[in-house]
Structure 1
Amino acid sequence: MDSPSEPGPRAPGKGDESRSSAAVDWTLAVRVAARLARAEPSMSSYTREQVRSELVELAASAEEPVREVTRLKDGAQVPEALILDRPGWSRAAASSLAGLLGGSIEQRPRGLLAGRASGLQAGAVLGILSNAIIGQYDPFAGQGGQLLLVAPNIIHTERATRVRPRDFRTWVCLHEVTHRVQFSASPWLGGHMRALIDTATPASGEPLLAAGQRLVTAIRSRDGSRDADPLLGTGILGIVLESQPPEQRDAMIGLIMLGTLLEGHAEHVMDAAGPRVVPTVEHIRAVFDERRHERRGLLQWIMRTLLGMDAKMAQYAQGKRFVDTLVERVGMDSFNTIWTSPETLPRPSEIREPEKWITRVLE
């Protein structure tokens, strides 16, 4: 339950039609995403069930080491992880997105042509992501959030990187369970994120032509002289941020800062808890650090930029440096002050210079 003093989800109202999920044909989006999903890695039905059972087990067992490192407690019952295939993840993601937009995945779009166009776009993005997402904690799913693990992608990745399967699966679970703990131990956090999302996607809406004109103006105004900020976005993301009205831009930056903290904290926990429960953690970390920096072709670069994947990698790196520095300087208990309220979350300048957060929040 959200704290009474914190902003919670905004209930859909009469002004929400322009941002409602009814503007998207989610049924079509799910079908398109399923068609774009790659075939599963070859395995027997016995192996598939064995993987599913092991992932459920490892997600549950990761709870204790995560809580030992984070020192975050809530006493809540640990829900079972949901193990999905690629189309299953797309459907779960579509359902969550529809809910965030004030509707449901079963709703029929009001405008047939606009709904189908939006459905095709959403389905294309979901389909591409479904081939890459390994695990995810969705704080808005169900009654109290849901941990999702995409089994085919986990198997594909461990085979491609030749890491030890059980160790890799444990490593993945440490990261995603950390996200679950972050939200379960900070009941206000989900409401705050929802409020930022509501502001970043306002109910008032804006004509598509006007939004496009703002984006074109922002692109033309770039002279190439400004330093790229990998955290606030290079390329498309940075241009989109610059083109937004102040309130929306601030909300989007707030979401980026929150994501940077959440991902950096999870990376810190993986490294702190890993040696105790993942015998080959150093090898796995080295393999994935190398993969994050490997050169890619032009098409891959375009897709990663449009989907914000490179900005996501910057969040991992910068966020981990921020958390590592703070924990080293003030200890985990003092660091956990960060989970007190929206006012104690890091600001952009503090992510880059953690000492500023210490001065503002702890001193």
Structure 2
Amino acid sequence: MAETTRDESIVTAETSALTVGVDWELAASIGRRVARPGPRVTRYTMDQARAELAAAAVRAEGPVREVTGLADGLRVPTARIVDRAGWIDAASRSMPAMLTDDPQPETGLGAKIAGVQAGGLLAFLSGAILGQYDPFSTDPDTGEPGVLLLVAPNIIAVERQLRAVPSDFRLWVCLHEVTHRVQFSANPWLTGYMRENVSGLAGGDEDSVTEVLARVTEAARSGKPREKGMVGVMQLLQSPEQFEAFERVLVLGTLLEGHADHVMDAVGPAHVPTVEQIRAGFDARRSAPRNPLQRLIRALIGMDAKIAQYVRGKAFVDEVVETVGMERFNTVWTSPDTLPKMSEIDEPSKWIDRVL
């Protein structure tokens, strides 16, 4: 989650083709060097925030499990509370781990150039991410798969801007991120499924410029692109096989984020006293005007498309749960075949008819 539990997620699998041919060690070094400092806080304030966030991540686990009906009986892991540099280090390890269990360092001039570019992106994102569940990394303390990261300085910065009650805002953030942890912990196959499709998106023979231009020209001549917006652009620039993998990852991300938002709404009123003020302030902040450079960066990394992803996913989950209940909704986690298709996200009744 970036800039909120309901905003732009940093490491989006939709853009993870960037993991190929990147010197991620160099990217992390560049990112740490150019990342902007966080808000000014005393050591006491930061220590207090870190302790409260760690406790909130544990507190959130019970209500999330109760509402979702997932992960009962599993151990409650400890969240890692990090600063911006710590998040950059974690992200630089996670990116190549998306593609393989045993990532190898990239070398060569091209990888270093890409590493410099990726470092700048990591630096920008390190100031926006509040929290993130990373299913591809291993917890350095326990050796278990999956790591929940909470970026303390960013959470403090946003709660100050919103004038939110710190304890409420911190728990609100944790509810969303813990839901992601529960999704993957209760359904381990999701990690492999995502890795398989990310590899399909990033791998394979690259199309020649001629082939890409041919697809663009064909779409222009017909005047009827199959999809609009970012999806349409990706459809033109990728091979059919890559686009299918991209679409599967996009649908899965939409489901995961929409489910987390649904759970946050279901749990919030009973456990976060000021949840209405937090949500109103956050939504207003998210829609506030941004300078041209910020708008450009957001467009390039798909942040605005990510916001739409949350909205569509939540609408899907809301309608299915209202229609059939959470227990039957959880059929969605059975296998790749029970995940919604792109055409079903906006028409949940189609998913209900096909799967249930």
Q: TM-score range by the shorter chain?
A: 0.7 to 0.9
Q: In structure 2, list runs of 5 or more residues that go unmatched.
A: 1-16, 139-143
Equivalent residue, structure 1, for 2:24: 26
CA distance in 1 between counterparts of 2:20 and 2:263 reads: 39
- Kindly indicate whether residue 319 of structure 2 is the aligned counterpart of residue 322 of structure 1: no
Q: Does 1:140 align with 2:141?
A: no
Offset of residue 198 of structure 1: 1.3
* Aligned residue number for residue 194 of structure 1: 195
DSSP-derived class of the 2:137 partner = coil
Change over 3 Å in CA distance of 1:215–1:160 after alignment to 2: farther
* Secondary structure of 1:97 counterpart: helix
User: Does structure 1 residue 185 correspond to structure 2 residue 183?
Assistant: no
Deviation per CA, 1:11-65: give whole Å up to 9, x if none: xxxxxxxx99783222210111112311121111111111111110000110001
SS across alignment from 1:116: helix
Q: How far apart are the structure 2 equivalents of 1:151 and 1:346?
A: 34
Summarize the alignment of residues 1-363 of structure 1 with structure 2, pairs less than 5 Å apart. 23-102=21-100, 108-111=105-108, 113-142=109-138, 143-202=144-203, 204-206=204-206, 210=208, 212=209, 214-215=211-212, 223=220, 234-235=229-230, 238-362=232-356
**Which residues of structure 1 form unaligned runs of 5+?**
1-18
The whole-number CA distance in structure 1 between the counterparts of 2:292 and 2:18 is 35
Structure 1 residue 240, shift from structure 2 partner: 2.3
Q: Distance in 2 between matches of 1:51 and 1:254?
A: 37
Counterpart-to-counterpart distance in 2, 1:271 and 1:283: 13
Cα distance change of structure 1 residues 136 and 20 upon mapping to structure 2, 3 Å threshold: closer
- Distance in 2 between the 1:144 and 1:190 partners? 10
Q: Which amino acid aligns with 2:305?
A: A
Taking structure 2 as the reference length, what is the TM-score of the superposition?
0.87
Conserved? CA contact 1:163–1:284, under 8 Å: yes
Identity %: 52
SS state at 1:177 partner: helix
- Alignment RMSD, CA only? 2.3
State the 1:251 CA deviation: 0.7
CA shift for structure 1 position 228 = 9.8
Which residue identity is paired with 1:199? G
Give the secondary structure class of the aligned counterpart of 2:281.
helix
SS in 2 for 1:262: helix
- In 1, the alpha carbon distance for the partners of 2:35 and 2:252 equals 30
* SS of residue paired to 1:55: helix
TM-score, scaled to structure 1: 0.86
- Give the C-alpha shift of residue 96 in structure 1: 1.0
State the Cα deviation string for residues 56-76 of structure 1 (Å, max 9, x = none): 000011000101111113422
Separation of aligned partners in 2, 1:157 and 1:166: 13
Distance (whole Å) between structure 2 residues aligned to residue 276 and residue 82 of structure 1: 26
Q: 1:58·1:173 contact (CA, 8 Å) conserved in 2?
A: yes
Instruction: Give the 3 Å change call, closer, same or farther, for CA 67–22 of structure 1 in structure 2.
Output: closer
Separation in 2, partners of 1:361, 1:167: 38
CA distance in 1, matches of 2:18, 2:264: 37
Asked if 1 retains the 8 angstrom alpha-carbon contact of 2:320 and 2:329, the reply is yes
Aligned to 2:176, the other structure's residue is in SS state: helix
| Structure 1 residue 325 displacement after superposition | 0.6
Aligned residue-pair number:
334
Q: Distance in 1 between matches of 2:75 and 2:293?
A: 44
Mark the CA change 1:103 to 1:119 in structure 2 (over 3 Å): closer, same or farther.
Answer: farther
